[in-house]
């Protein structure tokens, strides 16, 4: 099923509790902190089923149409189709919605390629995973995920010694219908706009932290669920003209608080198994397929940033300088390098024992490593090109309502290659993306969304063909002859 944007918006008004400061928000579709971003997500649903995009964005199975991210790939063509669907979603939101509806669904599709792994944990959990995949696919479900344990609860020894403890989300009770969960989990990007939350653990748990290993799906409006959201940039945006991106693409981040939330058994996928609760991401294609979406999304954002860099140089009248062209050349080389790494992920795929194809693991982890390490520097370079521009532009666009102030502004603020009005729009838009508090959040997001940066190094260490590399060294060593002792 391909949901309409209107259906999606209707389903968001479902009694969920969003905690914004001291306010409990119940309808995110009308609240000024969320309503525009809710519409940006709704637009993805509408664009996806529009005549122009429906073929690229969906596929048919048993007479039903489903979003392309539910394809379980068996051919390179399947991988290409999935990639193009991710790319278009990212294009429609300039790569600013990291956890768009195609992200967590791709993780679940990745797990669906190897459901037998869930059976190892408990009989029936593999079937639960298959049914959950079908539920998401058939109802076009938008899920976020929270797979990080609260900081204070990570080390069991420190946890025991603490006077005040983080209540790490865990199973506190069970009955014949399911389990009861209490505690907090972080960090749900897009949680406010999702139908459901996938709860799990992407970082290792100690074997004795079995109760924390619960992996399940929770409805955002389930009794006992609260979504504690960070500051809303949409609420603080002055206008579309002043904050083009933060006024409509603030996907939000939130901590989920659960108090004796009942989760039915059919939505439980792992329980009482610390090791398995992490393995399901790495021993299936889930982590690499999900992050493949992130790479396509990043590339769309980078294309926009590079366009901004070029225009910034032009407006400052420095685009002809070789040193500036060198900076622009480096940015475009970086973009081309990333696009190459993405193509490599698709064109050099690998197979699962079940006969499914997934993207090339090493090329994916190289790209994840590169993007998480370089976004900060890219943003910095483009801010450098904007120089003092953002601080010469008037406070906000309200002065345009005054004819005399507009006359003065128009007469004096023009730049090379752009009139004063265009310069206003450009600088405000660029600063919103690269210099504002919203921009700061994006820098932190690109650094951390895939886990702490040191882990991104470790993925490339773990999956490296060290035996082959060592064989090369051995070959050279075998060819080196040391002098023999003279008799």
Ligand X SMILES: Cc1cc2nc3c(=O)[nH]c(=O)nc-3n(C[C@H](O)[C@H](O)[C@H](O)COP(=O)(O)OP(=O)(O)OC[C@H]3O[C@@H](n4cnc5c(N)ncnc54)[C@H](O)[C@@H]3O)c2cc1C
59's tokens: 């596929």
Applying CB under 6 A, does 449 fall inside the site for ligand X?
A: yes
Applying CB under 6 A, does 453 fall inside the site for ligand X?
A: yes
Applying CB under 6 A, does 187 fall inside the site for ligand X?
A: yes
Applying CB under 6 A, does 193 fall inside the site for ligand X?
A: no
293's tokens: 């979406």
**DSSP helix, strand, coil percent of the chain (3-state; round to 5):** 55, 15, 30
Applying CB under 6 A, does 146 fall inside the site for ligand X?
A: yes
Applying CB under 6 A, does 244 fall inside the site for ligand X?
A: no
Contact yes or no for 329/313 (Cβ under 8 A): no
Which of 148, 299 has the CB closer to ligand X?
148
In the window 258-287, what residues touch ligand X (CB under 6 A)?
Answer: none
Output the CA angle 95-101-105, nearest 5 degrees: 120
Applying CB under 6 A, does 452 fall inside the site for ligand X?
A: yes
Q: What sign does the dihedral 280-300-70-365 (CA atoms) show?
A: negative
Q: How far apart are the first and last CA of the chain?
A: 85
Residue 6: burial class (beta carbons within 10 Å; 0-12, 13-18, 19+): exposed
Applying CB under 6 A, does 298 fall inside the site for ligand X?
A: no
Applying CB under 6 A, does 151 fall inside the site for ligand X?
A: yes
Which of 454, 461 has the CB closer to ligand X?
454
Q: How far apart are CA 360 and CA 366, in angstroms?
A: 10
Among the listed residues 115, 126, 183, 451, the single contact to ligand X using CB under 6 A: 451
Applying CB under 6 A, does 448 fall inside the site for ligand X?
A: yes
| Nearest CA among 201, 253, 260 for reference residue 227 | 253
Output the CA angle 374-375-378, nearest 5 degrees: 85
Closest distance to ligand X from the beta carbon of 196 (Å): 13
Which of 196, 253 has the CB closer to ligand X?
253
Applying CB under 6 A, does 379 fall inside the site for ligand X?
A: no
Which of 58, 100 has the CB closer to ligand X?
100
Closest distance to ligand X from the beta carbon of 187 (Å): 4
Residue 116: burial class (beta carbons within 10 Å; 0-12, 13-18, 19+): exposed
Closest distance to ligand X from the beta carbon of 304 (Å): 19
Which of these segments, 15-23, 60-68, 132-140, 449-457, binds ligand X (CB under 6 A)?
Answer: 449-457
Distance (Å) of CA 107 to CA 40, 136, 297:
22, 12, 15
Which of 110, 319 has the CB closer to ligand X?
110
Q: How far apart are CA 44 and CA 68, in angstroms?
A: 13
Which of 345, 372 has the CB closer to ligand X?
372
Applying CB under 6 A, does 99 fall inside the site for ligand X?
A: yes
Which of 85, 256 has the CB closer to ligand X?
256
Phi, psi of 320 (to 5 degrees): -85, -10
Q: At what angle do helices 274-282 and 286-315 cross, to 10 degrees?
A: 60
Q: How many residues bind ligand X (CB under 6 A)?
A: 20
Among the listed residues 189, 201, 246, 456, the single contact to ligand X using CB under 6 A: 189
Which of 120, 279 has the CB closer to ligand X?
279
Interaction site with ligand X (CB under 6 A): 99, 144-148, 151, 187-189, 253, 441, 444-445, 448-449, 451-454
């Amino acid at each position: 099923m391909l949901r309409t944007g209107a259906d999606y918006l209707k389903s968001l008004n479902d009694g969920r509790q969003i905690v914004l400061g001291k306010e409990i928000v119940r309808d995110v579709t009308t609240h000024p902190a969320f309503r525009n971003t809710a519409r940006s997500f709704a637009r993805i649903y509408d664009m996806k089923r529009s005549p122009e995009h429906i073929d690229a964005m969906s596929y048919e199975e048993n007479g039903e149409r489903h979003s392309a991210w539910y394809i379980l790939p068996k051919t390179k063509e399947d991988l290409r189709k999935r990639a193009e669907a991710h790319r278009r979603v990212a294009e429609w939101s300039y790569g600013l919605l990291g956890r768009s509806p195609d992200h967590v669904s791709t993780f679940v599709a990745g797990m669906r390629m190897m459901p037998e792994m869930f059976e190892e944990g408990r009989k029936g959990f593999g079937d639960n995973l298959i049914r959950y995949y079908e539920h998401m696919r058939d109802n076009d479900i938008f899920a976020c995920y929270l797979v990080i344990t609260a900081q204070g609860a990570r080390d069991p020894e420190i946890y025991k010694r603490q006077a005040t403890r983080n209540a790490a989300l865990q199973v506190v009770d069970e009955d014949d219908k399911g389990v009861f969960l209490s505690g907090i989990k972080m960090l749900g990007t897009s949680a406010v706009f999702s139908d459901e939350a996938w709860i799990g653990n992407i970082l290792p748990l100690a074997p004795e932290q079995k109760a924390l290993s619960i992996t399940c799906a929770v409805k955002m409006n389930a009794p006992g669920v609260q979504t504690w959201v960070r500051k809303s940039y949409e609420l603080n945006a002055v206008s579309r003209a002043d904050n083009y991106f933060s006024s409509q693409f603030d996907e939000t981040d939130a901590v989920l608080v659960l108090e004796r939330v009942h989760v039915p058994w059919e939505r439980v996928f792992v329980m009482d198994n610390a090791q398995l609760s992490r393995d399901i991401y790495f021993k299936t294609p889930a982590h690499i397929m999900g992050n493949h979406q992130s790479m396509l999304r990043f590339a769309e954002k980078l294309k926009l940033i590079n366009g901004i860099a070029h225009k910034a140089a032009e407006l400052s009248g420095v685009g002809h300088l070789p040193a500036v062209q060198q900076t622009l050349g480096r940015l475009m080389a970086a973009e081309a390098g990333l696009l190459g790494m993405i193509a490599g992920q698709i064109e050099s795929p690998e197979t699962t024992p079940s006969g499914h194809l997934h993207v090339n693991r090493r090329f994916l982890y190289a790209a994840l490593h590169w993007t998480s390490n370089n976004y900060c520097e890219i943003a910095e370079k483009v801010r450098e090109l904007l120089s003092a521009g953002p601080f010469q532009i008037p406070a906000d666009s309200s002065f345009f309502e005054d004819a005399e102030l507009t006359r003065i502004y128009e007469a004096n603020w023009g730049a090379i290659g752009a009139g004063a009005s265009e310069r206003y729009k450009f600088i405000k838009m660029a600063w919103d993306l690269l210099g504002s508090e919203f921009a700061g959040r994006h820098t932190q997001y690109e650094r951390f969304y895939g886990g702490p940066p040191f882990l991104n190094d470790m993925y490339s260490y773990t999956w490296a063909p060290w035996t082959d590399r060592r064989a090369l060294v051995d070959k050279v060593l075998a060819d080196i002859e040391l002098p023999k002792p003279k008799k």
